[in-house]
Structure 1
Amino acid sequence: MIDLQKLTHIHIKLRVGEADLLGLMMSRSGTLNRLGDGEDEQPPFFMGRTEEPLFEEFVAQLSPELLELTGRYTFPDQQGVPCELVLALAGEGIDTGFA
């Protein structure tokens, strides 16, 4: 089981077909990096820092049921354009594919 108190970085990537439409990296320190908006195939890149507790708010949404899917989960009966959503977590003693 992942100790969420030791979590320091989160990386989220959305790929639809052959296009990377969204990349988001956030850290407990407040650093945010975002590539894309989830729609544009030629996404802009943004870097910043926030005092808002966005990291903690996101971590609060990580349920034990979701964390049990760490690794890979494939939906049955897929239809439409292939999509890949990556949620990678990193921290002290935590590595779920963070690269």
Structure 2
Amino acid sequence: MKALLSILLLFAMTNTTTAVPDSLKKKSEVDLVSITLEVESEAWLFILLARDGTINRMGDGANSPKKESVYIGITEEKLFEAFMENVDEQMLSHPGAYDHKEKEGKACSVKIIFSDQNEEKKSGFYFGYGSDSAGPPQPIPSLIMKAIEITDPWHQEQKNKE
């Protein structure tokens, strides 16, 4: 975790940083997480996982989803819990918006939002960067990959129903 804080500090010193309200401080308070990856203002990946089993997924993050459907459902599988096992609780205490000043390539952004059941308390991250410049620091990419991995079987099952 110290490495993440050091990287965020370095990222903040070389880029534009904006603080966001950090109402959520404990993983036990989180009931919903959403992840959005955009390229040139177009969503390439959207994942929503909720403690009650609600799941939404669109895209894979690697390809433009021009013909991609948003799949919405409820699952008995503990996907939310599986994802949250990978979240270090200290991350919730350091939310913020980080924007790389010198973006190279296509404009990209990643948002990870943690919220309570009523979406009254939130915490999260926003990273703006270029496709050919430094992206978000670890563990953000690892969390995104874990969310894709955890939701892939459900996502493929939904696609196969079409």
Q: Output the TM-score relative to the length of structure 2.
A: 0.51
Report whether the alignment pairs 1:95 with 2:118. Answer: no
**1:82 to partner: Cα distance:** 1.6
* Runs of at least 5 residues in structure 1 that lack an aligned partner in the other structure: none
- Measured after TM superposition, the shift of residue 95 of structure 1 is 1.3
1:75 & 1:69 partners in 2: Cα distance?
18
1:69-84 paired onto structure 2 within 5 Å: 69-75=94-100, 78-84=103-109
Q: CA deviation at 1:14?
A: 0.5
RMSD: 2.3
- The runs of 5 or more residues in structure 2 that have no matched partner are 1-23, 125-162
The SS at the match of 1:96 is strand
Query: Which of the two has greater helix per residue?
Result: 2
Identity of aligned residues (%): 27
Q: Give the letter aligned to residue 67 of structure 1.
A: L
**Number of equivalences:** 97
Instruction: Note the alpha carbon deviations across 1:30-84, whole angstroms, 9 max, x for none.
Output: 1101122322331211012222221111111112454344121234754322210
Higher gyration radius (CA): 2
Larger strand fraction of residues: 1
